[in-house]
Structure 1
Amino acid sequence: MTTSPDRPCGARLLAALPAGERESLSSLARNVVLPAGTRIFEEGEEADRFWILCSGTVALDIEIPGRGRAVVETIGADGLLGWSWLCPPRQWHLGAETRDAVRAWEFDATAVRTLCAERPALGLALVTLVAETIGERLRATRTRLLDLYGPPTNGPAS
């Protein structure tokens, strides 16, 4: 399960984990391929898994009443797709769709939460990683919504 002979899938994310825990988490990964245009999940649905992207891109979107879906962020290789699996009520906060073919490691959320309960160092490292991801997504969503709904600019201020 590698992206290239010298760079494993999720190398940046896995580097954030304690060395002894990387293999524990990687052992739960399932290699998946998602064709372009695949709707991975919808806002409000049960969040029962997450992915580390090996290749391809996924657009995260939010449903805006009367306007349809607005993309708030695009995730590429080595990105974490999904954090809602960790936080009750465990429902997706955004929707996700592949922009092109995606190869990823897919993780069953229940199995990962069980492993984290057994291995607190892994649990803490994953919670920290997910918290960083939530912060990034909040900033990206805020910026995108300001682009869509913020006051118009009249050019540079004098």
Structure 2
Amino acid sequence: MTSVTTMSAALPPEHRVQLMQLAREVSFEAGTRLFEEGRRADRFWIVRTGTVALDLHVPGRRPAVIESIGHGELVGWSWHFPPHLWHLGGEAMTPVRAWEFDAEPVRAMCATDPGFGRAIAVWIGLVVAQRLHASRVRLLDLYAPYGSGGLE
């Protein structure tokens, strides 16, 4: 089943083509930190192969893994919203191949092409909503007396 947050499901074909014109291929070894919570968000990725874990800093504990991101999914949305600081951390759990995008040219394209900008904003909004839900469920599982109770 394809997630509505994958690029192929969320962006119309013409906007996927526009975005991919700005892509470059990158790879990361397992264990590589892609970004740290609170630091400058100046790029994002779409996973081609492998898995990236998103984690949340929890004082006095190890970071809580919120979600695992895989094929076709967006890694990073903080680049889209000022002040452009990461809201989560990210680490390659397996070897990862991805398309990487510099945020500045993508934001510039969003500003000059309203249709493209709207499509990107809707996609990012879907991703943020999904990540917020995953964070809530994971934190309830970790810290609530009875876990999440399977809440949707």
Scaled by the length of structure 1, the TM-score of the pair is 0.86
List structure 1 runs of 4+ shifted beyond 6 angstroms.
Answer: none
Aligned counterparts of 1:95 and 1:15: Cα–Cα separation in 2: 25
Is 1:65 the counterpart of 2:65 in the alignment?
A: no
Deviation at 1:14, TM superposition (A): 3.5
Residues 15, 148 of structure 1: alpha-carbon distance in 2 compared, 3 angstrom cutoff:
closer
Report the aligned-residue RMSD.
Answer: 1.2
Q: Confirm or deny: 8 A CA contact 1:18 1:122 kept in the other structure.
A: no
Match of 1:145 in 2: 139
- Give 5+ residue unaligned stretches, structure 2: 1-5, 148-152
Residue 42 (structure 2) pairs with residue 48 (structure 1)? yes
Residue 98 (structure 1) aligned to one of 92, 102, 107: 92
How far 1:15 moved relative to its partner?
A: 4.5
More strand by share: 1
CA drift of 1:117 comes to 1.1
Match of 2:3 in 1: none
Q: Distance in 2 between matches of 1:70 and 1:21?
A: 34
CA contact (8 A) 2:44 2:101 kept: yes
% identity of equivalent residues:
54
Q: What CA distance in whole angstroms lies between the structure 2 residues aligned with 1:20 and 1:80?
A: 18
Q: Give the superposition deviation at 1:24.
A: 1.5
